[in-house]
Structure 1
């Protein structure tokens, strides 16, 4: 089924901005619910309201599309198109006011990502991509950094804060930090889009969910980032990204430790 992907991107961006505005407006009155998978897996009423805003609008536009969404508003579809949504990636940052977060929307046709949007509400930055059409930030084209040597590279690190993954991440960081320029811990989507925009030189994510990385991964690839995991493609278990010149050294280092 043909679809106007530029129009899809524009609507997804509009919805991400609307959800981000809701998050800013309700930050002082949010209510935190019970943890989900573990004590550090928190959710607020704003996560849920943001997801509902996005899913209802997408369903109104394309009622036959499937939806895979973090906070439980998913649904089956019959069109062959699947929306993958994280309404608030970085909830702990949002609740504690200690760092950035984003709204993430991706559209798949079968198993292939076609459209992606990641919106950072505080900075009012909207990163987006269409498969084969490049990546942009607020409408301006972005590309990956030139890739300095690993010893000078700034590397983003993302991981789920459950006990097992924290132990795994600690091992990777112990091996990586002495040989790279420095690291930054970020929510997974922003890790990938900052890499796409050349703010980071490399990034890695451990034990994510598809909604954490689906949108950011397409934006990164369209900006020229090399992505992989255990093999030639990234997975939710391990996602590694880098500027092309940095990829051999960075991927070898991370894969050996992870």
Structure 2
């Protein structure tokens, strides 16, 4: 851990909390507009406003850093960035559908990596009053209290979370995979925010999580889960150009004792 890392973490925490205030104010005042990108994925004016706020502050304080953001730079070519340059990975609102429909499972997600290492992650859930964070090698926390995974050892008694894509043409293999897991675990939850699902694994509220997600959905939450003792891996081979450090394809995160059994079930294709 360097002094830079600590400074970046405090900066990210402050950003995430201020962004959370923007989100709660927008809902309280009903001051947001719904729109759709790619004809089917919901985005609101608050997503855009929060993204502009976060990215603007990062550029102001760290002009030499790069920013991968869901809303403003989702197609950035990360392969051209030198290994010693910090890259911020931003999801201004993870759980936009939840936000627009008045649900509480909504989060600001801010991650930072350098080269092949995740450095920090901050996930702020403003409607739940919880801010999760982690710094590589320093543990994971929620509102200042240390986090640890549940320690679940038997899948039959495990609570597992997942999610579904906006693109419905990819549902059949996903539903088959969910069915296989559901037949072997206690139950499945679909909460609508990958970042928070990862934090809930870290907090011991969930025992495992699996889904194919984008870098901004997982960059912060995966580090928080890792630092709380979770095992992280993939059940699908990488097909995208995203570097491993932010590759969310076929992401699986669980307590150490559940990981292998879950991975075997993922691969039991019909």
**Fold shared by both chains (TM-score > 0.5):** yes
Aligned partner (choices 78, 93, 96) of residue 98 of structure 2: 93
RMSD over equivalenced CA pairs, Å: 2.2
The 8 Å contact of residues 161 and 208 in structure 2, kept in 1 or not, is answered as yes
State the alpha-carbon separation in 2 of the partners of residues 38 and 165 from structure 1: 16
State the alpha-carbon separation in 1 of the partners of residues 147 and 99 from structure 2: 26
The 8 Å contact of residues 52 and 73 in structure 1, kept in 2 or not, is answered as no
Q: Find the residue that maps to 2:163 and give its secondary structure.
A: strand
Shift of 1:3: 5.0
The 8 Å contact of residues 87 and 103 in structure 1, kept in 2 or not, is answered as yes
State the alpha-carbon separation in 2 of the partners of residues 167 and 174 from structure 1: 11
Distance 1:183 1:129, change over 3 A: same
The 8 Å contact of residues 104 and 128 in structure 2, kept in 1 or not, is answered as no
1:30 corresponds in structure 2 to: 32
Equivalence map 1:25-64=2 (5 Å):
25-27=25-27, 28-33=30-35, 35-39=36-40, 41-64=41-64
State the alpha-carbon separation in 2 of the partners of residues 38 and 202 from structure 1: 32
Shift of 1:255: 3.4
Equivalence map 1:214-253=2 (5 Å):
214-230=219-235, 235-253=247-265
Aligned partner (choices 151, 162, 176) of residue 171 of structure 1: 176
The 8 Å contact of residues 111 and 220 in structure 2, kept in 1 or not, is answered as yes
Where in structure 2 are there 5+ consecutive unaligned residues?
Answer: 238-243
1:112 corresponds in structure 2 to: 117
2:16 corresponds in structure 1 to: 16
1:194 corresponds in structure 2 to: 200
Q: Find the residue that maps to 2:109 and give its secondary structure.
A: strand
Aligned partner (choices 113, 126, 147) of residue 152 of structure 2: 147
The 8 Å contact of residues 158 and 188 in structure 1, kept in 2 or not, is answered as yes
Shift of 1:257: 4.7
TM-score normalised by L of structure 1:
0.91
The 8 Å contact of residues 156 and 203 in structure 1, kept in 2 or not, is answered as yes
Greater Cα offset, 72-81 or 209-218: 72-81
The 8 Å contact of residues 236 and 250 in structure 2, kept in 1 or not, is answered as no
Shift of 1:131: 0.9
The 8 Å contact of residues 106 and 214 in structure 1, kept in 2 or not, is answered as yes
What is the count of residue pairs matched by the alignment? Answer: 254
TM-score normalised by L of structure 2:
0.88
Greater Cα offset, 23-32 or 66-75: 66-75
Shift of 1:8: 1.0
The 8 Å contact of residues 175 and 257 in structure 1, kept in 2 or not, is answered as no
1:182 corresponds in structure 2 to: 187
2:241 corresponds in structure 1 to: none
**1:188-241 superposed Cα distances (whole Å, 9 cap, x missing partner):** 1111110011000111012x1100111111111111100110379784220011
Where in structure 1 are there 5+ consecutive unaligned residues?
Answer: none
